[in-house]
Amino acid sequence: MENAMFGLRYAKATPSTYLIQYRNGQLVREGTGLAFFYFAPSTSLVSVPLESVDVPFMFNEVSADFQEITFQGQATYRVVDPKRLTGLMNFTLGGNGAHVSEDPTRLPQRVVNAVQVQLRAVLAGQTLEQLLGASEGLVQAVREGLRGADGLPALGLELVNLSVLAVRPNPETARALEATVREQILKQADDATYRRRNAAIEQERAIKENELNTEIAVETKKRQIRDAQLEAERAALEKRQQIQQQDMAGKIDLEDRNKALTRLRAENAKTESESRAYAMAALMEVVGKIDPKVLQALNVGQADPGALIAQAFQGLAENAQRIGELNISPDLLRQLTGKE
């Protein structure tokens, strides 16, 4: 915005406008949101808008398989290096406050051209089907190319966003692709129907197999039960036969067992008599080595009075040569024997 009075003018820039003042070819000031007075005959003003700008585009390109394809989208950019941009393009303001050159209006077209150049570089070697199925990768590749050193930064610009809204082949190719896709969809539908029918058949077969397996299992169990019953009956029969054979063998061997028992008893009695005789012989051998007087002395406490009296008379008899005269009256003998 400018006001003129006696050659003096007032300039005021918005915060989104980068303003540069030159006086006699020398830089005086630069920045955003500046407001100052200047002398118009010796001053030049350069105004660069910093707002983001949306630029739509639509290209007709050819794929690697020689199919025409249309790209439609939008690029958003903004100025980040005004001095670089003003060194390449003319953004000088005239006396009426408008740009003296058409370069500011040509800047969006230059951005579109840069997008087209990067897009053609990405399209090299890709077929129509690849381009239709990889639009996101295509956008990413173009975006990286525009942000490279030889892209928008070379103009002092920054890519804010890039979007591809549509990727369309020509109508004839589109109808052919639609027919192909339609056939594929129909084929997939038929395949789904066949798979559903096959699944139903498989389920029915599985059910029948389960029924047959159940019947087989039941018959197998019944056969096992019958086999177990037959085995039990056979075992019982064998047991009865064994018992009968044992009874017959017992009857046959009863007499032999009685004879064997008698022989065993006789042998036991013989062994017992021999043991007693051996014990008696051993006892007699031991007693024979003892002095008779010792045995008599041991027997004194247990012998009855008659035996003691007989022993006393025996002693007198043995020492008769030493006795001069011995008188035993009947009364004394009766008293000694304790009998009437």
Q: State the pLDDT at residue 186.
A: 80
pLDDT digits (tens, 9 = 90+) for 175-194: 766 667 677 888 888 888 88
Q: Is the pTM of this model over 0.95?
A: no
4: pLDDT strictly greater than 60: no
The stretch 31-41 carries a mean pLDDT of 87
Q: What is the DSSP letter of 53?
A: E
Cα 150 from Cα 155, distance rounded (Å):
9
- Of the candidates 152, 73, 58, 139, which has an alpha carbon nearest to the alpha carbon of residue 110? 152
Tens of pLDDT, residues 296-319: 665 655 556 666 667 666 766 666
DSSP letter for each residue of 250-304: HHHHHHHHHHHHHHHHHHHHHHHHHHHHHHHHHHHHHHHTS-HHHHHHHHTTTS-
2-5 vs 8-12, strand pairing mode: antiparallel
Note the helical H segments in the chain.
82-88, 103-123, 128-133, 135-146, 171-288, 292-299, 305-318, 330-337
Q: In what order do the strands lie in the sheet with 53-62?
A: 53-62, 68-79, 157-169
